[in-house]
């Protein structure tokens, strides 16, 4: 087991309990380093997981999940100096988060994270991919701080029910290539400054409200006017994925019907 490079759990969560009996049963002892281990997906994010992770100095890919999601945790992974890909699921991170600067890809599903804590992620100089799904952000407004995400290329928000307002400028996302917004039913607009992003290649909006769709199309038209048809970003606008949100479909239909209805003149 010391030569093990990749470990994936069969049922989604590797429940490592860190006792002598448990370590013997799965083939680990409590003293040896696992220098060859590069992938560990998924381990239970209990309070004692650090005692195991410190023995994986060359770990590059890690998945963490809190099966019970009982208490906020302070997640400190700064000691994993080779970590490049991190997946977090069902973890309450309101107590804090520390990550190594080597992280390039971060996915967070069903976690709790305050908007202001995202400034921690902005310090990750290598971060290129950031994916959020069903995040409880404890507030509807994201005011992206001045430092921004200088290396970020891919950004996605999926099923962010409380996400209503996003204030940002192109200077904060200079290298952004792909923007995905799916199931953000309350998001009012996409930052219009994104029309000036020179690297933007694709915008995908699924199930967004009318105002968000209008801002996406406005950004697309600005990009097309500047770059031409061949170099403008790919625009994808779709209704919600099944099962459909009846309220969203009804409101969107009425909005579009109102726009196409002839105006009456007095």
Rg (C-alpha) for the chain, rounded Å, is: 22
Alpha helices in the chain (DSSP H): 20-26, 50-53, 118-122, 210-227, 246-260
pLDDT at residue 154, rounded to an integer: 98
The token pair at 230 is: 């061949």
Q: Are strands 75-76 and 97-98 parallel, antiparallel or unpaired?
A: parallel
Q: Which two tokens stand for residue 193?
A: 């400054």
| Residue pLDDT tens, the chain, 266 long | 557 888 887 655 665 554 445 555 555 556 678 899 999 988 888 767 888 889 899 999 999 988 666 566 778 899 999 999 999 988 887 667 889 999 999 999 988 887 877 878 888 999 999 999 988 777 899 999 888 999 999 999 999 888 999 999 999 999 999 999 999 989 999 999 999 999 999 999 998 888 899 999 999 999 999 889 889 999 999 887 665 455 555 555 555 455 555 555 55
Cα–Cα distance, 42 to 53 (Å, whole number): 12
What confidence score (pLDDT) does residue 107 get?
Answer: 94
Task: List the structure tokens of 237.
Answer: 């606008």
∠ Cα 63 114 84 (to 5°): 30
Enter the tokens of residue 144.
Answer: 């992206």
Distance CA 11, CA 26 (A): 15
State the pLDDT at residue 191: 94
- The pTM assigned to this predicted structure is 0.83
């Amino acid at each position: 087991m010391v030569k093990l490079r990749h470990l994936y759990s069969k049922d989604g969560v590797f429940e490592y309990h860190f006792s002598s009996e448990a370590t013997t049963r799965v083939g680990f002892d409590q003293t040896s380093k696992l220098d060859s281990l590069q992938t560990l997906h998924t381990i239970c994010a209990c309070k004692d997981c650090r005692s195991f992770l410190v023995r994986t100095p060359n770990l590059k890919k890690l998945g963490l999940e809190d099966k019970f999601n009982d208490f906020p945790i302070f997640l400190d992974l700064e000691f994993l100096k080779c970590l490049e890909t991190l997946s977090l699921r069902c973890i309450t991170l309101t107590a804090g988060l520390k990550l190594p600067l080597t992280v390039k890809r971060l996915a967070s599903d069903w976690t709790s994270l305050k908007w202001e804590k995202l400034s921690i992620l902005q310090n990750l100089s290598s971060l290129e991919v950031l994916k959020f799904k069903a995040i409880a952000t404890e507030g509807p407004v994201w005011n992206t701080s001045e430092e921004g995400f200088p290396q970020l290329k891919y950004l996605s928000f999926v099923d962010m029910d409380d996400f209503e307002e996003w204030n940002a400028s192109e200077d904060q996302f200079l290298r952004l290539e792909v923007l995905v917004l799916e199931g953000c039913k309350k998001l009012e607009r996409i930052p219009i400054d994104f029309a000036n992003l020179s690297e933007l290649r694709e915008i995908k909006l699924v199930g967004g409200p009318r105002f968000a769709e209008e801002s996406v199309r406005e950004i697309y038209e600005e990009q097309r006017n500047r770059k031409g048809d061949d170099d403008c970003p790919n625009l994808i606008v779709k209704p919600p994925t099944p099962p459909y949100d009846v309220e969203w479909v009804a409101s969107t239909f009425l909005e579009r019907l109102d726009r196409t209805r002839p105006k009456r003149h007095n």
